[in-house]
Amino acid sequence: MELVFSNIAKSFKRGAKDRVVALDDISFSVAEGELVCLLGPSGCGKSTLLKMAAGFEFPDTGSVTADGKPVCKPHPDRGMVFQDYALFPWLTVEENIAFGPEMNGTDRREIRERIRRFITLVGLTGFEKAHPHQLSGGMKQRVGIARMLAMSPKVLLMDEPFGALDAFTRMEMQEELTNLWQAAPFTTVFVTHDVEEAVYLADRIAVMTSRPGKLKTIVPVPLSRPRVRTDHDFVQIRNHVLKQYERTQPSAAEYSI
Amino acid sequence: MARETNPRLQKIKHLLQYVSLSIVILAVWQTLYHLGYIKPIILPPPSKIALTFWELLNSGAMAKHVGISVLRVLEGFGIAAVLGLSLGIAIGLSRTFDRLTDLIIQVIKPIPPIAWIPLAILWFGIGEKSKVYIIFLGAFFPIIINTIDGIRQTDHKFVEVARILEVPRFKFVRQVVIPGAFPAIMTGIRVGLMVAWMCVVAAELIAAGSGIGYLIMDARQLSQSDVVLVGMITIGIIGKLMDSLIKRLEKRLIGWKVSYVGD
């Protein structure tokens, strides 16, 4: 599925008359099977963009289309993975994964088959009957990903999915996501504020700046996978992305009394 | 030295900790009586209370009083649970229903059940119904309020997940909202049951001829402070036992919830 963001603008109310521009004329597209990272500091509106792609929020002007059709409500085709996992704590790992397929009336045998397949795929074999509170953060997010994959989505929207994990678990999850994605390249929009994460994962990085949220540039990452974080080319691209954030805004803070 | 890890010793230690304060209080109380500091008519010693308890137990009076009170509590609480849960869920789910009912709930809630006694007698007479009604009033509000709160606290992320997975409304309520509200609902049930026991004495002020509340009020008129204390302690113990039972049920039903258990 191809996602196209065209001329997106959105502002929020602040106080009685004041409005804050959150997103200012943003256009880019995500091709079928492409992995695009939305990179930017907090407050640049990257999560808002993702929510628009999911169908939870809508731009003031401009549009988001999925395969040419405007996005007007959430749909299982566009699966979402949350930073805080959003697993149902009263369900076991396999019940969480089965939840979506059960809701749309998939038959029992097919559900069992999918549970088995996705639990193996995300490496949770042996934890089928565990409850979320018994799992580590990385494992919880594996369930979060498996739950969405079980709906065979055409797009995976990931909202800082590894943001709450420690650095080592994060690297491990990035590797595994790469493996999953390479095995079956699903269109992916991955929101992050971690430059290295973006360079490691993305085909292209949408570099965003904040106040107002603008798309500064799009950086392609033409490196073969698996990528090595210490490689010369990797470091070069990382530095290039970091440079985009130098002096893009007045460095002095605004004071008022 | 290694820390004590023998599970049986650990269990005994915890049990001792659990009862130690009660035993110390009873011992001090008894000692003060023997030293002549407390007059038995003001506060009878534990030994006298135990004796009275034993006598009431042997005569069969205790079983009769406890039986009728338990029955009243269960009736009042049962009605409160059914109505409180169903209305609470309905109000929690519907803003309109909430606006329609909120004012009346908030105004009636602070009225102590005891203030309802005159009306309860006029409406239901002096039989069982009026007593059950008083207990029902006490248990109803904690249950309905906690149910509404629990439903309102449904995590917004769950709502988003449900929308993505296209969960039909009815299944969303049954499989996401209610399980999520369950811990709050159980709290409401426990508080409701506790208040039901607190109301049993008030309820049995209404022309009762039996029940623990009656036992207490009757003994009061005869200045039998030992019987009064036996009645009070009995209510306490039965209330505690019922609470433990619900707590055990709660643990089984919501074992998925990890909460702070203290150091």
pLDDT tens by residue, B130-170: 999 999 999 999 999 999 999 999 899 999 999 999 999 89
Q: Are B22 and B60 contained in the same domain? A: no
Mean pLDDT of chain B: 91
Distance separating alpha carbons of residues B209 and B217, to the nearest angstrom: 10
Single-letter amino acid code for the residue at B87: L
The confidence score (pLDDT) of residue A106 equals 86
Q: What are phi and psi of B223, to 5 degrees?
A: 55, 35
pLDDT at A250 over 90: no
- pLDDT at residue A139 greater than cutoff 90: yes
Using a CB–CB cutoff of 8 Å, tell me whether A227 touches chain B: no
- The strand pair at A204-209 and A35-39 is best described as parallel
Testing the interface with B: which of A48, A52, A90, A133 to mutate, by most B Cβ within 10 A?
A90
DSSP-assigned states of every residue in B193-255: HHHHHHHHHHHTTTT-SSSHHHHHHHHHHTT-HHHHHHHHHHHHHHHHHHHHHHHHHHHHHTT
Give the pairing of strands A187-192 and A155-159: parallel
Classify residue B150: in a domain, yes or no: yes
Structural domain boundaries in chain A: 78-152
- A88 and B167: CB-CB below 8 Å? no
Q: Which of B153, B165, B178, B251 to mutate to test the interface with A (most CBs of A within 10 A)?
A: B165
- C-alpha A210, offset from chain centre: 18
* Average pLDDT, integer, range B218-232: 92
Residue B259 lies in a domain: no
pLDDT at A256: 59
Q: Which two tokens stand for residue A106?
A: 């998939």
Number of compact structural domains in chain B: 2
Residue A165 Cα distances to A45, A140, A162, A189, B101, angstroms: 22, 10, 5, 19, 45
In a domain, B261, yes or no: no
The pLDDT of A213-240, averaged and rounded, is 93
Closest-CA distance of chain A to residue B89, Å? 19
Q: Is there a contact between B197 and B134 (Cβ–Cβ < 8 Å)?
A: no
Q: Is residue B258 in some structural domain?
A: no
Q: For residue B171, which residues of chain A lie inside 8 Å, CB to CB?
A: 103
Q: Do B29 and B84 have their domain in common?
A: no
> Are B8 and B95 in a shared domain?
no
Task: Please tell me whether residues B12 and B74 are part of one structural domain.
Answer: no
The verdict on B46 and B31 lying in the same domain is: no
Q: Tell me what the mean pLDDT of segment A216-229 comes to.
A: 93
A91 neighbourhood in chain B, CB within 8 Å: 256
Q: Is the pLDDT of residue B260 over 70?
A: no
Q: Give the per-residue pLDDT at B255.
A: 75
What is the pLDDT at residue B254? 81
Q: Mean pLDDT across the stretch A185-196?
A: 94
Q: Do B165 and B99 share a structural domain?
A: yes
Q: Which domain holds residue B7?
A: 1-38
Q: Is residue B83 part of a domain?
A: yes
For residue B262, being part of any structural domain is answered with: no
- Hey, is the C-beta of A144 within 8 angstroms of any chain B C-beta? no
